[in-house]
Amino acid sequence: MTSTLARYQRIALFYDFLDAPFERKRYSNLRPLIFQNLDGRLLDAGIGTGRTCAYYPPGVEVSGIDISTAMLERAHARCPTLALAGRLYQMDVTDLKFPTSSFDAAVSTFLFCVLPNDLQVPALRELGRVVKPGGLIRLLEYVRPRGTRRRIISRI
C-alpha cells in the first residue's frame, strides 16, 4: 500500500489533468449510474479528488475516505458540503474506523483497480462490515488498457 499511497501523494495536483481524457469520454457518463436509487448514509470509498461529489443524490449523507491526504485536499475544494460537515477522512479502506453497519450503501470508483491483489478481499470485507445487512456496495472499476498509448498514460 505504501507505493500506492506515495504515488497518489505525488500526483494529486496533476491527477485530474492526467485523467481528463478518460473522464470526458467515459467516466462522466458512468458516474451518475453508480448513485442511482441510493439514499440514507453513503460511504464514498476512495473519494480521491472528489469528482463523484457532483453526482450525489439529494438528501444523501455522504462520508468520503481516501488514504492520500493530498487527494483529500483536492476533495475539500470540490466537495465543500462534506468538508464543512467534517465528513472527509484520511483512512485505509482495509481498516475502516467506522462502526459495523453504519452505512446504508457504499460506492467506490476506481479504487479496487489500483489496490494490490492481496488487499482487495480485505477491502471488500471492510465495506461489507460497515454497510448494513441488505445494503448495496457498488464498484466502478477498469482493467489495465491494452493499447500502448493508454498503457503509458495509465502507468504515469
Whether pLDDT at 56 is above 90: yes
Whether pLDDT at 38 is above 90: yes
138/54 Cα distance (integer angstroms): 17
Question: What pLDDT score was predicted for residue 15?
Answer: 64
Please list, in sequence order, all residues whose beta carbon lies within 8 angstroms of the beta carbon of residue 126, skipping any fewer than 6 positions away: 93, 94, 95, 96
3-class DSSP assignment, residue 40: coil
- What confidence tier does 154 reach under pLDDT thresholds 50, 70, 90? low
Question: Which domains, ranges and CATH numbers included, belong to the chain?
Answer: 2-155 (3.40.50.150)
As a whole number, the mean pLDDT across the chain is 86
Instruction: List pLDDT tens digits, range 86-99.
Output: 999 999 999 999 99
